[in-house]
Chains A and B, each alone.
Chain A
Amino acid sequence: EAQVTQNPRYLITVTGKKLTVTCSQNMNHEYMSWYRQDPGLGLRQIYYSMNVEVTDKGDVPEGYKVSRKEKRNFPLILESPSPNQTSLYFCASTARPDLYNEQFFGPGTRLTVL
């Protein structure tokens, strides 16, 4: 089954404790992306990756890091989480973002930073 998986689905942590949210896709997609969703603000792009070892900032990259060492994986790293990073996070992948290709989203990760 074609899918994007994220782990963990739910996480409660404390300020400053490094964490990683994993994202994996099995569709051989070149493009992967991370979003956060906050009430009233919609989904905002954090980072995206056009291919292995190619990453770029989205609209809200501050406080986040990513890596793309393998095509299927695109982890999101919060080196020192803060309460304003409490949000619902989605990972997504697609073949190419410019053509009319569907973005496939993971199920989301609810992060709470105390």
Chain B
Amino acid sequence: RKEVEQDPGPFNVPEGATVAFNCTYSNSASQSFFWYRQDCRKEPKLLMSVYSSGNEDGRFTAQLNRASQYISLLIRDSKLSDSATYLCVVTRGGTSYGKLTFGQGTILTVHP
């Protein structure tokens, strides 16, 4: 089993749709959680961190469920510019402090 797993998609949605991505992680010692966005093989850029209490940034909502070991990203009112690959990122603690693990990414295409 991969340490961090995402549904690779692709997700094809119309503008204005709501879309949700999930990401599961297997290491219960994981410490920090993030969603990054990557456009067409360019460098990944931070979209948002995922806090235990859940957090929202405009049209984006991220949630963490430590008991079930998954994080989610909800995008409301999708825009064409949201088309990208969304990467789930988990940092480890303990003896693996400093190691980061990326999911393989979920491809989103928003069409007119």
Q: Which residues of A contact B (CB under 8 A)?
A: 31, 33, 35, 37, 40-45, 48, 50, 56, 58-59, 88, 90, 97-100, 102-103, 105-108
Write out the residue numbers on chain A whose beta carbons fall within 8 Å of the beta carbon of B102.
35, 42-44
Interface size on B, residues (CB 8 A): 26
**Which residue from B31, B46, B51, B97 sits with its C-beta under 8 Å from A103?**
B46
Write out the residue numbers on chain B whose beta carbons fall within 8 Å of the beta carbon of A59.
99, 101
Quick check: A41 and B104 within 8 Å, CB to CB?
yes
Task: Work out how many contacts link A and B, with CB atoms closer than 8 A.
Answer: 61
Quick check: A98 and B46 within 8 Å, CB to CB?
no
Write out the residue numbers on chain A whose beta carbons fall within 8 Å of the beta carbon of B34.
100
Quick check: A50 and B98 within 8 Å, CB to CB?
yes
Quick check: A108 and B104 within 8 Å, CB to CB?
no
Quick check: B44 and A90 within 8 Å, CB to CB?
yes
Quick check: B91 and A98 within 8 Å, CB to CB?
yes
The verdict on A98 contacting B31 (CB below 8 Å), with A41-B104, A42-B87, A42-B105 known, is: yes
The list of the 9 closest CB pairs from A to B, nearest first, reads A42-B104, A105-B43, A43-B102, A100-B49, A102-B46, A42-B102, A48-B98, A97-B91, A97-B98
A12 to chain B, nearest CB (A): 17
Write out the residue numbers on chain A whose beta carbons fall within 8 Å of the beta carbon of B49.
100
Interface centre among A33, A50, A105, A106 (most CB of B within 10 A): A105
Distance, CA A33 to CA B97, complexed state (A)? 13
Distance, CA A16 to CA B104, complexed state (A)? 29
Distance, CA A31 to CA B97, complexed state (A)? 11
The verdict on A107 contacting B101 (CB below 8 Å), with A97-B91, A98-B91, A100-B32 known, is: no
